[in-house]
Amino acid sequence: MQKLRNEELNRKSVEEFRKAGKIPVLLVLDHLRSLNNVGSIFRTADAFLVEKIYLCGITACPPHREIQKTALGATESVIWEYRRETPPLIEQLKEEGYHIISLEQVQGSVSLEKYQFVFGKKYALVLGHEVKGVSQEVINLSHECLEIPQFGTKHSFNVAVSAGIVLWDYFLKTSKSNKKGGQK
């Protein structure tokens, strides 16, 4: 095996990325405090062709050196928008036909391995504050909550890791219907 050089990776330009079909998934960052997590989520959103990221509340916005450090330019490719309050955004997204899923440990949450994403359905995945999680008000507005199963001594994943796990799960569960790597 030979390691591939960057020019052999068939990476899209920012312009090609913007024109590419996206998965019908939005990410809603509900009061994230870590700029490195925000940047990492941008980079993951770029990798999976996520439609858009909403940065809410205290979540910092690009351009910022600490976001750029982990985003590696993904803030230029992924469309994003800032919203001061998360609940009105959730209401708006529901009206636009998005299925709202908060990633949170709650009574009645669905374990990720049991959840079946539906090809073509529009989703808004809500990721919460690194310590406090998704606010109860946003949980109350969500259609459902997903929980990533864990088997060790810790009770949570890093928020950026959680985004990657759920997006990969979405890709695996919808890829049989979606052989082109994007839709819309």
Flag whether 50 is in a domain: yes
How far lies 149's CA from each of 45, 47, 61, 101, 152, in Å?
22, 23, 30, 16, 10
If you search the block for the tokens 């890709």, which residue do you land on? 171
Q: Is the pLDDT of residue 8 over 50?
A: yes
**Rounded (5°) CA angle 153-167-48:** 140
pTM over 0.85: yes
Tokens of 175: 């890829």
Give the domain CATH number at 81. Answer: 3.40.1280.10
pLDDT at residue 175 in the model: 86
In a domain, 3, yes or no: no
DSSP codes, 124-161: EEEEEBTTTBS-HHHHHHSSEEEE----SS-S---HHH
The pLDDT tens digits for 40-52 are 999 999 999 999 9
Asked if pLDDT for residue 183 goes beyond 70, the answer is no
Asked, for residue 9, whether it belongs to a domain, the answer is: no
Per-residue pLDDT band for 155 (boundaries 50, 70, 90) equals confident
pLDDT tens track for 165-177:
999 999 999 986 5
Question: pLDDT value at position 178?
Answer: 54
Tell me, yes or no, whether 8 lies in a domain.
no
H or E segment to which residue 171 belongs: helix 159-174
Domain with 164, as residue range(s), is: 14-174
The predicted pLDDT at position 184 comes to 44
Asked if the structure places residue 5 within a domain, the reply is no
> What integer is the mean pLDDT of 144-153?
96
- Inform me whether the pLDDT recorded for 28 exceeds 90: yes
Q: Does residue 4 belong to any structural domain of this protein?
A: no
Average pLDDT, stretch 127-150? 97
> Is 68 within the bounds of a domain?
yes
Q: How many domains does the chain have?
A: 1
CB 173 within 8 A of CB 117: yes
Per-residue pLDDT tens over the stretch 74-126: 999 999 999 999 999 999 999 999 999 999 999 999 999 999 999 999 999 99
What was the pLDDT predicted at 182? 46
For residue 6, tell me if it sits in a domain.
no
